[in-house]
């Protein structure tokens, strides 16, 4: 072959491969193991960029090599084709988004084929195909039928001008990207999927997976599991109103049970009166007897709160029916069910009660009504929901400590009797230091306090203004855009710290999020940086309850494992200069500890006296004036060079100021151990090298918080406990253990046209009804335009004929759901469809899935590490729980690729003018060149950023041209000079490809070519081996050279060459090659090679990378590495 016409060669072989169906993958091949190699299917934006090449062409190297190595490789492709860009293009250009999308797909398919990738196009999946999204809808309905899907009001970004819901990415600086209007938060009914039910499994099941640590951590951080405690803070109001609580027990219960006694005690602490009538005949209760007992037990008036639990709930309603004057509130807790309701369990008292209630009379007597439901009671919960609706009562759905609220302590019952704020904290050990509470703007209590019925806040207008402003901010803005935390005190109320019994202020602040924890946090300014800033701004008390504990594990004073500790009380003295803004810096020479004067407190000596003595002994300064103590004791575990044992030292941190420069002599022993200098504040910041010293220094400079672990102080009976013990003990005493998650349920509703219609029907009689399976798929209808409907509904609402249907249950008039599904739903199961893409009866056949699942390797972008990976893992687990797939995890191994930057080192963008058009480069230099350049740019198994280097691309092209010219060196007989190097090359390229180190594999091919060009002789069998090694990287050129060499079959159907270990030189060793400290290759040299030989071999191996660069110096570390330092 005389010339390298890449255009002719590449088109020729692409056509030939497609004609022969070379990459069509059978489900099984006798004698071969299956390998499922998955890449993220692309969105059809209309044009491939360099990132697509990096995503598809490089895993293709692995796919091709593994086929040659005996695997039956599935390498499928498809298009994630629904989405907002298509809808925006439709609105802008007044065309159907399907037409726009399908046109883009057609164009991009040709571009992908031009890469020479070995995708199996017979398994192509498109999410816009009704044959695909039929099964997306079907799975959604399975989840709905199994309780994983529900509908509720959720906050959305609303543009008041366009009258539409905006995705988060459409909100820029709090404004609509389309019209620049200020975006507000609006509540809308949205479909949700209960991903939170899987939060623990999504974290715990990561452990055995062969995934990089960084990806696992990203998943864990996104879920945000926190283990802590929920603690209730009672509220008191300015009017300090006291109530009479009348509490009615249930069937077979007694008023003197531990639960009722506990409730009575807690309410009486705040001056409330509690009456618990003994209801007669609890084994065989009768309505008239029990109602009479309740009425006769006390009087009822506007200060009465009537509470009924279980059957007592029905009795309470019957009591309310017979009252003639209003009461303050009616609280129904897990009321007995009406026998007429589905799921009723027969009770002996059924006929002794009238189960009909006078709803209007009850509403008139009790203007404030609450129904408390335990979600664990699956049968009773729906009844209570309906009961709350009948009574127009507030429904509180919660989880009781013991089902049916039967535990000795039921905090949720108390919470709805006595005004309470429940907080979640991961630091229960700091409860005694909680000096204020903060509520999220969307906290239910805030909403209640701001409604028209309540006037508990004296600054209601101020609070309302703040809350309204918070609604205009996105969650991200509330968390990241505030240099200074803002808030408003809720005047007219106080909370009671349950540990100290002290009143503390309550604030509303938008840095607290309503969905995280309970939407309320306790402020502990002594032990949290954010709380400290807030407290300092608003003048809130700061109370230390935690003494720091520092454990030294590095350096000359690191603790010695296995040795005991000796306690000692000591001082740590910060000494200020008498006239300058400087401090005394002390370096302890034996262990290189840098900080301040320190030393033990002698018997009958106080801390201040000890401090003055130590200052004099270590520095010679005589006149030290005590200024103040710097907070609580600081404990430190370290190894003492002086005493030669582990010490647990309890430092009293003190601040002194010298009165003058009077200085005496320092004993030689002390002088030899301490180096003393004066330093500025800024110099001290960098000088200090031990944490206990730094804590004292921070306190001296006004920072009064410590957020680490420690020993409890100012915490009553818990003083002296460690953080770990204190957290458990305080949580047990004042609250209950609780896990919370940042993860929220997955909102899948989208008010868009171009998406999968949600297969639900809304019937005024039957409620939400699933579309019957036989009517799937629910296809997208045609609409006149794709602009939002105006009320917040999607453009589908305009398709009136499509919307109006019959209810599948009652056959009455009903309407279709007009929201479409989040596109992350489409991509949560596409890999399953690849296993059986044409199946019309199932989403995929179980046997076919078993052939290919779980995915052996999933290669993707770091930007999908959290949401897509998390959603698809959840989706798969839900399918697993329903028995629809056999594995709980979809991917055995996941790896993220790097990012290709522009030639200027910045992210490619039109605004930067640095976008590389791969089509142009392919036309000029060839697809094989682009593939090999991207493979050579850096290791594919590591995440990094690689700037596009035009010279580097040209260098790879020259390498391929040299391969072509090397055909003239082919002879019948083998070259003995190449034998050993070829064996090395076979071994190294094979191993590196498996490890996704394509760059070092190519380096080895270059090394071999260099040797070949020197020998000018290669045997035909050796040449064939070289082409086989080249084939995964440059498939077109390798195929052409294979054909020219006289072979009739495709090179890509040939087996991978084997190597003979005996022919490998025993005395050769690998040398890492670095450029500016980053590994860019590897070369094998003889173990006795000279420094010059090693450098020369390394220079040859990375010649393409060094081309056009100025080498400033070369560092050769014998036996290890060569590092070329080049000018950037």
Q: What is the pLDDT of residues 966-1007, one digit of tens each?
A: 999 999 999 998 998 999 999 999 999 999 999 999 999 999
Q: What CATH number corresponds to the domain at position 842?
A: 3.40.50.620
Average pLDDT over residues 855-880: 93
Paired sense of beta strands 304-309 and 244-248, if any = parallel
Quick one: DSSP state of residue 828? T
850 and 832 within one domain: yes
Q: Which helix (H) or strand (E) holds 619?
A: helix 607-619
**1037, 982: one domain:** yes
d(CA 415, CA 420): 5
The angle that helices 1035-1044 and 6-20 make with each other, rounded to 10 degrees, is 90
Q: What is the CATH number of the domain that holds 657?
A: 3.90.79.10
For residue 1064, pLDDT over 80 is answered with: no
pLDDT for res 910: 75
804 has a pLDDT exceeding 70: yes
Residue 149 falls inside a structural domain: no
Answer yes or no: do 314 and 406 share one domain.
yes
Contact 968, 1014 (CB under 8 A): no
Higher-scoring residue by pLDDT: 295, 179: 295
pLDDT at 1058: 94
CATH number for the domain that contains residue 424: 3.90.740.10
pLDDT at residue 949 in the model? 92
β-pair partners for 226: 740
Q: Do 664 and 696 share a structural domain?
A: yes
What is the pLDDT at residue 379?
A: 87
pLDDT tens, residue by residue, 458-487: 999 999 999 999 888 877 778 765 667 899
Determine what percent of the chain is predicted with pLDDT higher than 90: 78
* Pairwise pLDDT comparison (587 vs 704), residue with the higher score: 587
Same domain, 582 and 525: no
Q: For residue 181, what pLDDT is reported?
A: 87
> Three-class SS of residue 176?
strand
Domain-located, residue 889: yes
910 appears as a binding residue in the annotation = yes
Which residue in the block uniquely carries the two structure tokens 């915490």? Answer: 715
Q: Do 540 and 554 fall into the same domain?
A: no
Domain that includes residue 441, residue range: 420-544
Residue where one domain finishes, among candidates 415, 450, 468: 415
pLDDT of residue 941: 83
Is 432 part of a structural domain of the chain? yes
Question: Mean per-residue pLDDT for 687-698?
Answer: 96
Task: Establish how many alpha carbons lie within 13 A of residue 821's alpha carbon, considering only the half-sphere containing its beta carbon.
Answer: 29
Render pLDDT for 181-198 as a digit per residue (tens, 0 to 9). 888 878 889 999 999 999
Q: Helix, strand, or coil here: 87?
A: helix
- Where residue 1025 falls (left for φ over 0; alpha for ψ -120 to 50; beta otherwise) is alpha
Place of tokens 């000692």: 568
CA 37, CA 236: separation in Å to the nearest integer? 62
Task: Output the average pLDDT for the chain.
Answer: 93
pLDDT at residue 179 in the model = 78
What pLDDT is attached to residue 481? Answer: 57
Q: Which of 691, 692, 696, 723 is nearest to 709 (CA)?
A: 723
- Answer yes or no: do 581 and 651 share one domain: yes
In angstroms, the CA 653 to CA 1036 distance is: 74
CA distances from 935 to 4, 43, 275, 932, 940 (A): 21, 23, 79, 5, 7
**Paired tokens of 564:** 């005991």
Residue 508 pairs in a beta bridge with: 439, 488
| Sequence-ordered list of residues with C-beta below 8 angstroms from that of 244, at least 6 positions apart, any chain | 272, 273, 274, 275, 298, 301, 303, 304, 305
CA-CA distance, 154 to 587, in Å (whole number)? 59
| pLDDT for 1066 | 54
Q: Is 524 left (phi over 0), alpha (psi -120 to 50) or beta?
A: beta
User: Hey, what are 339's tokens?
Assistant: 């026998």
Instruction: Please report which confidence band the pLDDT of residue 907 belongs to, taking 50, 70 and 90 as the band edges.
Output: confident
Output 856 or 782, whichever has higher pLDDT: 856
Is 158 a residue whose pLDDT tops 90?
no
What average pLDDT does this structure show over 362-369?
Answer: 94
d(CA 219, CA 195): 13
Domain end among 846, 869, 901? 901
Q: Which two tokens stand for residue 567?
A: 């306690």
Q: What is the pLDDT of residue 1065?
A: 58
Is 984 in the same domain as 1004?
A: yes
Q: Which two tokens mark 99?
A: 């037409």
Taking residues 394-410, report their average pLDDT.
Answer: 93
Indicate the DSSP class of residue 95: S
Per-residue model confidence (pLDDT) at position 323: 96
CATH number at residue 1063: 1.10.730.10
Please report whether residue 175 resides in a domain: no
Task: Give the length of the chain.
Answer: 1128
646 inside domain? yes
Q: What is the pTM of this model?
A: 0.80
Computed from CA positions of residues 20, 21, 23, 28, in that sequence, does the dihedral angle turn out positive or negative? Answer: negative
pLDDT in tens, 262-282: 999 999 998 999 999 999 999
Q: Read out DSSP for 459-494?
A: THHHHHHHHHHHHTS-HHHHHHS-SS---EE-TTEE
Tell me how crowded residue 87 is: count the other CB atoms within 10 A of its CB.
24
205 within a domain of the structure (yes/no) = no
pLDDT at 482 (0 to 100): 60
A 10 A CB-CB count for 735 gives 22
Q: How far apart are CA 920 and CA 382, in angstroms?
A: 64
When mean pLDDT is compared across 555-559, 671-675, 903-907, the lowest value belongs to 903-907
pLDDT of 300-326, one tens digit each? Answer: 999 999 999 999 999 999 999 999 999
Mark which of 514, 544, 574 sits at the end of a domain. 544
Give me the pLDDT at residue 562, please.
92
Alpha helices in 189-310 (DSSP H): 199-204, 213-223, 258-268, 287-297
| Number of independent structural domains in the chain | 5
Give mean pLDDT, residues 512-531.
92
**pLDDT at residue 168, rounded to an integer:** 67
Q: What pLDDT, on the 0 to 100 scale, is given for residue 483?
A: 62
Provide the pLDDT for residue 238: 83
CATH code where residue 249 lies: 3.40.50.1820
Residues 539 and 555 in one domain: no
Contacts of 730 (CB under 8 A, 6+ apart): 229, 428, 429, 431, 499, 715, 718
DSSP line for 546-598: EEEEEE--SSTTPPPTT--EEEEEEEEEEEE-SSSSEEEEEEETTTTEEE-EE
Asked whether residue 405 falls in the same domain as residue 424, the answer is no
> CA-CA distance, 308 to 301, in Å (whole number)?
17
Which residues share a beta bridge with 568?
649
535 and 580 belong to one structural domain? no
For 277-332, the three-class secondary structure string (H helix, E strand, C coil) is: CCCCCCCCCCHHHHHHHHHHHCCCCCCEEEEEECHHHHHHHHHHHHCCCCCCEEEE
Distance CA 413, CA 398 (A): 10
Report which secondary-structure segment, H or E, holds 60. helix 50-68
In DSSP terms, which residues pair with 1075 in a beta bridge?
A: 1078, 1124
- pLDDT value of residue 144: 96
Confidence category of residue 167, pLDDT binned at 50, 70, 90: low
Confidence check: pLDDT of 704 > 80: no
Strand partners, 722: 711
Is residue 384 a part of any domain in this protein?
Answer: yes
Tell me: do 1046 and 959 sit in the same domain. Answer: yes
- Tell me, yes or no, whether 19 lies in a domain: no
388 has pLDDT over 90: yes
Adjacent-strand bridge partners of 439: 508, 520
Beta strands (DSSP E) in 433-581 are 436-439, 488-489, 493-496, 503-504, 506-508, 520-523, 546-551, 565-576
């Amino acid at each position: 072959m005389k010339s390298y016409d890449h255009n002719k060669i590449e088109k020729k072989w692409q056509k030939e491969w497609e004609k022969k169906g070379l990459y069509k993958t059978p489900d099984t091949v006798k004698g071969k193991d299956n390998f499922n190699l998955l890449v993220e299917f692309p969105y059809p934006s209309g044009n491939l960029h360099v990132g697509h090449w990096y995503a598809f062409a490089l895993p293709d190297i692995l796919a091709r090599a593994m086929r040659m190595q005996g695997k039956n490789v599935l390498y499928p492709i498809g298009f994630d084709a629904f989405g907002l860009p298509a809808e925006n293009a439709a609105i802008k250009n007044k065309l159907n988004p399907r037409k726009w999308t399908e046109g883009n797909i057609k164009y991009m398919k040709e571009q992908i084929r031009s890469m020479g990738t070995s995708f199996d196009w017979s398994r192509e999946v498109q999410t816009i195909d009704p044959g695909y999204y039929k099964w997306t809808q079907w799975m959604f309905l399975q989840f709905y039928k199994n309780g994983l899907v529900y509908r509720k009001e959720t906050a959305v970004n609303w543009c008041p001008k366009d009258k539409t819901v905006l995705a988060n990415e459409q909100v820029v600086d709090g404004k609509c990207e389309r019209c620049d209007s200020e975006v507000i938060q609006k509540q809308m009914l949205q479909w949700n999927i209960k991903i939170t039910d899987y939060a623990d499994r999504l974290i715990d099941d990561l452990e055995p997976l062969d995934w990089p640590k960084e990806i696992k951590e990203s998943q864990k951080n996104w879920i945000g599991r926190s283990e802590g405690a929920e603690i209730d803070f009672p509220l008191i109001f300015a009017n300090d109103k006291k109530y009479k609580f009348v509490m009615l027990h249930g069937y077979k219960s007694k008023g003197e049970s531990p639960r009722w006694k506990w409730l009575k005690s807690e309410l009486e602490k705040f001056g409330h009166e509690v009456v618990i009538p003994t209801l007669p005949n609890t084994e065989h209760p009768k309505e008239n007897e029990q109602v009479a007992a309740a009425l006769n037990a006390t009087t009822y008036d506007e200060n009465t709160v009537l509470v009924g639990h279980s059957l007592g709930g029905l009795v309470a309603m019957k009591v309310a029916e017979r009252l003639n004057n209003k009461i303050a509130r009616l609280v129904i807790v897990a009321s007995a069910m009406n026998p007429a309701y589905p799921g009723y369990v027969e009770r002996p008292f059924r006929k002794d009660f009238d189960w009909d209630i006078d709803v209007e009379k009850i509403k008139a007597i009790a203007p404030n009504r609450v129904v408390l439901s335990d979600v664990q009671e699956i049968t009773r919960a729906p009844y209570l929901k309906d009961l709350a609706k009948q009574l127009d009562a507030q429904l509180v759905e919660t989880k009781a400590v013991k089902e049916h609220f039967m535990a000795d302590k039921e905090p949720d019952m108390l919470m709805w009797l006595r005004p309470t704020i429940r907080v979640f904290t991961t630091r229960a050990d700091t409860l005694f230091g909680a000096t204020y509470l903060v509520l999220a703007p969307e906290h239910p209590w805030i909403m209640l306090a701001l409604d028209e019925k309540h006037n508990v806040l004296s600054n209601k207008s101020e609070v309302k203004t703040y809350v309204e402003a918070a609604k205009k901010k996105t969650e991200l803005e509330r968390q990241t855009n505030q240099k200074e935390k803002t808030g408003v005190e809720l005047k007219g109320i106080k909370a009671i710290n349950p540990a100290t019994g002290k009143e503390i202020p309550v604030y509303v602040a938008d840095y607290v999020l309503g969905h995280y924890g309970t939407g309320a946090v306790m402020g502990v300014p002594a032990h949290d940086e954010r709380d400290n800033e807030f407290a300092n701004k608003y003048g809130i008390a700061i109370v230390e309850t935690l003494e720091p504990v520092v454990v030294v594990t590095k350096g000359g004073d690191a603790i010695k494992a296995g040795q005991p500790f000796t306690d000692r009380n000591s001082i740590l003295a910060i000494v200020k200069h008498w006239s300058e803004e400087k401090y005394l810096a002390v370096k302890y020479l034996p262990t290189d500890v840098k900080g301040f004067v320190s030393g033990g407190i002698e018997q009958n000596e106080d801390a201040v006296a000890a401090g003055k003595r130590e200052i004099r002994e270590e520095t010679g300064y005589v006149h030290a004036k005590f200024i103040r103590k710097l907070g609580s004791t600081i404990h430190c575990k370290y190894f003492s060079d002086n005493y030669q044992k582990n010490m647990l030292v309890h430092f009293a941190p003190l601040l002194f100021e010298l009165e003058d420069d009077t200085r005496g002599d320092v004993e030689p022993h002390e002088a030899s151990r301490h180096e003393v200098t004066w330093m500025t504040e800024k110099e001290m910041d960098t000088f200090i090298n031990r944490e206990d010293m730094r804590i004292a220094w921070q306190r001296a400079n006004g920072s009064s918080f410590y957020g680490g672990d420690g020993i409890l102080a100012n915490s009553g009976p818990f003083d002296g406990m460690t953080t770990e013990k204190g957290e458990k003990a305080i949580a047990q005493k004042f609250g209950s253990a609780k896990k919370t998650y940042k993860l929220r349920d997955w909102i899948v509703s989208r008010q868009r046209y171009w998406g999968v219609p949600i297969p639900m029907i809304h019937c005024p009689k039957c409620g939400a009804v699933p579309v019957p399976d036989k009517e799937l798929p629910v296809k997208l209808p045609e609409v006149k335009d794709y602009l939002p409907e105006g009320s917040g509904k999607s453009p589908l609402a305009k398709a009136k004929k499509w919307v109006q249907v019959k209810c599948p249950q009652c056959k009455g008039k009903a309407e279709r759901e007009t929201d479409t599904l989040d596109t992350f739903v489409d991509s949560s199961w596409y890999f399953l469809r690849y296993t059986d893409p044409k199946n019309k009866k199932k989403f995929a056949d179980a046997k076919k899935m078993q052939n290919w699942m779980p995915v052996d390797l999933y290669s993707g972008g770091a930007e999908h590490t959290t949401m897509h990976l998390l959603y698809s893992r959840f989706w798969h687990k839900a399918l697993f729980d329903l028995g629809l797939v056999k594995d709980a995890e979809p991917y055995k191994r996941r790896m993220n690729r790097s990012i290709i930057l522009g030639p200027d080192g910045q992210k490619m963008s039109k605004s930067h003018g640095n976008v590389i058009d791969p089509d142009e480069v392919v036309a000029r230099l060839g697809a094989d060149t682009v593939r090999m350049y991207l493979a050579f740019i850096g290791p594919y198994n590591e995440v990094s950023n690689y700037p596009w280097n035009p010279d580097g691309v040209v260098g790879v092209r020259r390498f391929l041209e040299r391969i072509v010219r090397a055909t003239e060196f082919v002879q019948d007989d083998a070259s003995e000079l190449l034998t050993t190097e070829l064996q090395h090359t076979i071994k190294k390229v094979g191993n590196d490809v498996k490890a996704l180190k394509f760059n070092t594999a190519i380096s080895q091919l270059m090394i071999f070519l260099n040797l070949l060009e020197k020998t000018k002789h290669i045997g035909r069998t050796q040449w064939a081996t070289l082409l086989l090694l080249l084939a995964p990287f440059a498939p077109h050129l390798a195929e052409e050279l294979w054909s020219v060499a006289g072979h009739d079959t495709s090179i890509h159907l040939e087996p991978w060459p084997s190597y003979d270990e005996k022919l490998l030189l025993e005395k050769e060793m690998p040398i890492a090659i670095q450029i500016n400290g980053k590994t860019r290759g590897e070369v094998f040299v003889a173990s006795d090679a000279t420094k010059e030989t090693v450098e020369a071999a390394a220079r040859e191996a990375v010649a393409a990378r060094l081309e056009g660069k100025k080498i400033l110096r070369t560092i050769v570390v014998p036996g290890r590495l060569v590092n070329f330092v080049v000018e950037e």
